[in-house]
Amino acid sequence: MSTQTTGTIAVLGATGQQGGAVVDALLDHKARVRALVRNPQSDRAQALAARGVELAAIRADDPASLAAALATVEGFYFMTPEANSLEEVEAEIRIGTALVDAAVEAGVPHVVFNSVFGADRESGVPHHDSKHWIEEHLGKSGLRATMVRPTAFMENFASVMAPSLEHGEIVLRLPLPEDVALKMISVRDIGRVAAALLLDTAEAPGGAVELVGDELTGPQIAAAFGARAGLPARYEALPLSVLPNDLDKVMFRQFAEAAEYPSDLAVVRSIEPATLDLVEWIRATGWTAPTNVAGS
Site for ligand NAP, rule CB under 6 A? 12-19, 37-39, 42, 44, 60, 79-82, 95, 116, 127, 150, 152-153, 156
Q: Which is nearer to ligand NAP, 1 or 160 (CB)?
A: 160
Task: Report the residue number, 247 or 279, with the smaller CB distance to ligand NAP.
Answer: 247
Residue 178 DSSP code: T
Is 37 or 174 the residue whose CB approaches ligand NAP more closely? 37
- Rounded CA gap, 172 and 203, in Å? 36
Nearer to ligand NAP, 231 or 238 (CB): 238
- How many of the other CB atoms lie within 10 Å of CB of 89? 21
Q: Which amino acid is at 16?
A: G
To ligand NAP, the closest distance from the beta carbon of 56 in angstroms equals 11
The minimum distance between CB 83 and ligand NAP, in angstroms, equals 7
Minimum distance from residue 187 beta carbon to ligand NAP (Å): 7
Q: Are 33 and 9 in contact (CB under 8 A)?
A: yes
Minimum distance from residue 19 beta carbon to ligand NAP (Å): 5
Q: Where would I find the beta strands (DSSP E) of the chain?
A: 8-12, 32-37, 54-57, 75-78, 111-114, 145-150, 152-153, 164-166, 169-174, 181-185, 208-211, 214-217, 233-237
- Least distance from ligand NAP to the Cβ atom of residue 231, Å: 26
Q: Shortest Cβ contact with ligand NAP: which residue?
A: 16
Choice between 169 and 208, CB closer to ligand NAP? 208
Q: Name the residue nearer to ligand NAP (CB basis): 9 or 12.
A: 12
Neighbours of 70 (CB within 10 A): 26
Name the 3-class secondary structure at 1.
coil
- Describe the crossing of helices 246-258 and 126-140 by its angle, rounded to 10 degrees: 70
Nearest approach, Cβ of 78 to ligand NAP (angstroms)?
A: 9
